[in-house]
Structure 1
Amino acid sequence: MKQLHFILFYLLLPFSLMAKQSVTLEGVITSDGVPVEGVTVKVERSPIGTVSGAEGEYYLSLSTGTYRVSVSMVGYEPLSKSVNVSGDTVQTLNFALKPVEGGLEEVVITGTMKEVNRLETPVPVEVYNHQFFKKNPVPTLFDALQLVNGVRPQINCNVCNTGDIHINGLEGPYTMVLIDGMPIVSGLSTVYGLSGIPFSLIERVEVVKGPASSLYGSEAVGGLINVITKKPQQAQRLSADVFATTWGEYNADLGLRQYVGQKANVLTGINYFNFSNRIDHNKDGFTDMALQDRISVFQKWNFDRKENRLFSLAGRYLYEDRWGGQTDWNRSYRGSEEVYGESVYTKRWEVLGNYQLPVREKMFFMFSYNDHDQNSVYGDEWYLAKQRIAFGQLTWDKQMGKHDLLAGAALRYTYYNDNTPATANEASKITMPGIFLQDEIGLATKHRLLLGMRYDYHSQHGHIFTPRLAYKWSVTDQDIIRLNAGTGFRVVNLFTEDHAAITGAREVVIREDLKPERSVNVNLNYIKKLQLGEGNLLGLESSAWYTYFTNRILPDYDENPQQIIYSNLDGHGVTRGISLNADLALYNGLNITAGGTWMNVFNKERNDDGTMEKFRPILTENWMGTWAVSYTVRPWNLQVDYTGNVYGPMRLALLSDLDPRPEYSPVWSIQNVQLTWHAAERFEVYGGVKNLLNWTISKSVPAFEAGEGAGVRSPVTRAFDPYNERVVYGADGQIVPTPNNPYALQFDPDGYAYGPNQGIRGFLGIRMTL
Structure 2
Amino acid sequence: MSKYFLCILFALIFSISFAQHDSSKKHQIKGTITSLNKPLAYVNVYLQGTSIGVITDENGNYSLSVNHGDYILVAQAIGYSIEKKSIHIDGPSTYNFDLKEDVLGLDQVVISATKTSLNRKEAPVLVTVTSAKDLEQINATSLIDGLTFQPGLRTETNCQNCGFSQIRINGLDGAYSQILVNSRPIFSSLNGIYGLEQIPSNMIEQIEVTRGGGSAIFGANAIAGTINIITKDPEQNGYQVNSKLNWIDGKAPESVLSFNSTNVSKDLNKGITFYGMYRHRKNYDANNDGFSELPKLNNINFGLKSFYNFNDRKKLTAEFTTLQEFRRGGDQLDLPAHEVLTAEEIKNRIVGGGLTYEYYSPSEKNKISLYSNTQSTLSNNYYGANQDPDGYGITEDITFLSGFQHSYKVNEFIGGSMKLTSGVEYNFNKITEDRRNALVDFFKQETNTLGIFTQADWKIRKNLKVLTGVRGEYFESNFRNKSLFILNPRVSVLYNITKDLSFRSGYSQGFRAPQFFSEDVHSEIITGEIRNVALADNLKEEKSHSFIGSLEYSHKHDDHQFLATLEGFFTRINNPFVYEDRGVDGNGLLLKEKINGDRATVNGINIEVKYSPNPKYSIQLGGTAQNSYYENYFEPEDGISTNKILRTPQLYGNALINYTPNKKWDFNLSSVLTGKMYVPHVEGYITETRLEETPTMVDVGFNTGYTIRLDHKNDIKLTSGIKNIFNSYQDDFDKGVDRDPNYVYGPSQPRTFYIGVKFGTNL
Change (3 A) 1:283 1:185: same
Q: Equivalent residue of 1:482, what SS?
A: strand
Q: Measure, in 2, the Cα distance between the counterparts of 1:618 and 1:543.
A: 23
Q: Distance in 1 between matches of 2:648 and 2:367?
A: 44
Q: Report the equivalent of 1:159.
A: 161
Counterpart CA distance in 1 for 2:78 and 2:319 is 30
Q: Which residue of 1 aligns with 2:245?
A: 244
CA contact (8 A) 1:260 1:266 kept: no
* Distance in 1 between residues matched to 2:303 and 2:160, nearest whole Å: 30
Bigger Cα Rg: 1
Structure 2 residue identity aligned to 1:476: T
* Aligned-pair CA distance for 1:384: 2.3
- Provide the rounded CA distance (Å) in 2 between the counterparts of 1:207 and 1:356: 24
**Contact 2:42–2:60, Cα closer than 8 Å, also in 1:** no
Contact residue 698 and residue 728 of structure 2 kept, 8 A: yes
1:472 pairs with one of 484, 488, 494: 494
What letter is aligned with 1:627? Answer: A
Call closer, same or farther: CA 1:426–1:671 in 2, change over 3 Å: closer
What one-letter code is carried by the residue in structure 2 that aligns with 1:436? F
Q: Which residue of 2 aligns with 1:130?
A: 132
Indicate if the aligned counterparts of 1:157 and 1:499 stay in contact, CA closer than 8 A: no
Retained in 2: the 8 A contact 1:329–1:339?
A: no
What is the CA distance between 1:147 and its match in structure 2?
A: 2.3
Q: Distance in 2 between matches of 1:403 and 1:423?
A: 55
Gaps of at least 5 residues in structure 2 are 1-33, 47-54, 62-75, 82-96, 478-482, 636-640
* Residues in 1 aligned to 2:499 and 2:56: alpha-carbon distance in whole angstroms: 22
Q: Does 1:433 align with 2:450?
A: yes
Note closer, same or farther for the CA distance 1:185–1:509 as it changes in structure 2 (3 Å cut).
closer
8 Å Cα contact 1:107-1:117 kept in structure 2? yes
What is aligned with 1:759? Answer: 751
Name the counterpart of 1:712. Answer: none
Q: Which residue of 1 aligns with 2:144?
A: 142
1:190-201 → structure 2 map (5 Å cutoff): 190-201=192-203
Give the one of 674, 687, 695 matched to 2:720: 687
- 1:437-471 Cα distance to aligned partner (Å, 9 max, x none): 00111111111111100111111441111101011
1:329 aligns with 2:318: no
- Of the three residues 627, 634, 640, the one matched with 1:600 is 627
Alignment partner of 1:695: what SS? Answer: coil
Q: 1:459 aligns with which of 476, 482, 485?
A: 476
Alpha-carbon distance in structure 2 between the residues aligned to 1:271 and 1:75: 24
Amino acid at match of 2:278: Y
Distance 1:688 1:236, change over 3 A: farther
Alignment deviations for residues 413-444 of structure 1 (CA, whole Å, 9 cap, x no partner)? 11111137999466222111121000111111
Whether the 8 Å contact between 2:180 and 2:228 is mirrored in structure 1 is yes
- Confirm or deny: 8 A CA contact 1:122 1:448 kept in the other structure: yes
Using the alignment, how far apart are the partners of 1:340 and 1:607 within structure 2?
30
Q: Secondary structure at the match of 1:134?
A: helix
Instruction: Please show how residues 359-758 of structure 1 align to structure 2 within 5 Å.
Output: 361-379=366-384, 380=388, 381-400=391-410, 401=412, 402-419=417-434, 424=441, 427-460=444-477, 461-494=483-516, 496-498=518-520, 501-503=523-525, 504-506=529-531, 508-531=533-556, 534-556=558-580, 565-587=592-614, 589-605=616-632, 615-634=643-662, 637-656=664-683, 658-659=687-688, 663-680=692-709, 682-697=715-730, 699=731, 701=732, 715=733, 717-719=734-736, 722=737, 746-753=738-745, 755-758=747-750
Q: Matched residues in 2 for 1:769 and 1:348: separation?
A: 30
Amino acid at match of 1:367: S
**Native 8 Å contact 2:716 2:757 kept in 1:** no
Aligned partner letter, 1:543:
E
Query: Do the aligned partners of 1:505 and 1:748 also contact (CA within 8 Å) in 2?
Result: no
Residue 278 of structure 2 corresponds to residue 272 of structure 1: yes
1:304, 1:77 → 2: CA distance?
Answer: 25
Q: Residue 495 of structure 1: CA displacement?
A: 5.6
Give the aligned length. Answer: 651
Tell me how large the CA RMSD over aligned residues is: 3.4
Question: Does residue 221 in structure 1 map to residue 223 in structure 2?
Answer: yes
Inter-partner Cα distance in structure 2 for 1:25 and 1:443: 36
Distance 2:370 2:314 in 1: 12
**Matched-pair contact (CA < 8 Å) for 1:196–1:295:** no
Change (3 A) 1:370 1:54: closer
Shift of 1:519: 0.6
Are the equivalent residues in 2 in contact too, given 1:693–1:760 (CA < 8 A)?
no
- Displacement of 1:26: 7.9
Cα distance change of structure 1 residues 252 and 35 upon mapping to structure 2, 3 Å threshold: same
Deviations 1:257-281 (A, max 9, x none): 1247975311111111111x34434
SS in 2 for 1:459: strand
1:588 CA displacement: 7.0
Query: SS in structure 2 opposite 1:419?
Result: strand
Compared with structure 1, are the counterparts of its residues 193 and 410 closer, same or farther at alpha carbon in structure 2 (3 Å cutoff)? Answer: same
1:391 offset after TM fit, Å? 0.5
**Given that residues 167 and 223 in structure 1 are in contact (C-alpha distance below 8 angstroms), is that contact kept between their aligned partners in structure 2?**
yes
Which has the larger strand fraction?
2
Shift of 1:606: 6.9
Evaluate the alpha carbon distance shift between residue 162 and residue 98 of structure 1 in structure 2; reply closer, same or farther with a 3 A threshold: farther
Cα pair distance change 1:565/1:278, threshold 3 Å: closer
Query: Structure 1 pair 99/317, CA: closer, same or farther in 2 (3 Å)?
Result: farther
What CA distance in whole angstroms lies between the structure 1 residues aligned with 2:283 and 2:545? 47
Alpha-carbon distance, 1:284 to partner: 1.5
- Which amino acid letter does the alignment assign opposite residue 38 of structure 2? V
Q: Give ranges in structure 1 of 5+ residues lacking alignment.
A: 1-23, 38-52, 59-72, 79-93, 702-714, 723-745
C-alpha separation between the residues in 2 aligned to 1:569 and 1:295?
40
Q: Distance in 1 between matches of 2:442 and 2:300?
A: 35
Shift of residue 130, structure 1, vs aligned partner: 0.2
Q: Which residue of 2 aligns with 1:17?
A: none
Counterpart code for 2:667: V
Larger CA deviation: 426-435 vs 190-199: 190-199
Structure 1's 99 and 203: CA in aligned 2 closer, same or farther, altered over 3 A? Answer: farther
Superposition deviation, residue 557 in structure 1: 5.6
Aligned to 2:103: 100
Match of 1:727 in 2: none
- Contact 1:412–1:431 (CA under 8 A) maintained in structure 2: yes
Paired with 2:186 and 2:228, the residues of 1 have a C-alpha distance of: 11
Q: Is contact 1:127–1:206 with CA below 8 Å preserved after alignment?
A: yes
C-alpha contact 2:561 2:611 (8 A) present in aligned 1: yes
- Look up the equivalent residue of 1:620 and give its one-letter code: T
Structure 1 match to 2:211: 209
Report the Cα distance in structure 2 between the residues aligned to 1:572 and 1:291, rounded to whole angstroms.
40
Gap change, CA 1:29 and 1:614, over 3 Å in 2: farther
Larger CA deviation: 361-370 vs 556-565:
556-565
* TM-score, length of structure 2 as denominator length: 0.79
Separation (CA, whole Å) in 2 of partners of 1:652 and 1:367:
41
After superposition, give the CA deviation of every residue in 1:356-383 in whole Å (9 maximum; x if it has no partner). Answer: 2486531110211000111121224334
Most deviating of 344-353 and 580-589: 580-589
Normalised by the size of structure 1, how large is the TM-score? Answer: 0.78
Encode CA deviations 1:551-599: one digit per residue, 9 max, x unaligned.
1002236999995633433420011110111111112722101101111
* Residue pair 2:128, 2:209 contacting (<8 A) in 1 also: yes
Deviation at residue 229 of structure 1 after TM alignment: 1.3
**Cα 1:112–1:382 shift into 2, 3 Å:** same
The AA in structure 2 aligned to 1:440 is: D
User: What is the rounded CA distance, in whole Å, between the counterparts of 1:525 and 1:688 in structure 2?
Assistant: 36
Instruction: Report the CA distance between 1:200 and its aligned residue.
Output: 2.9
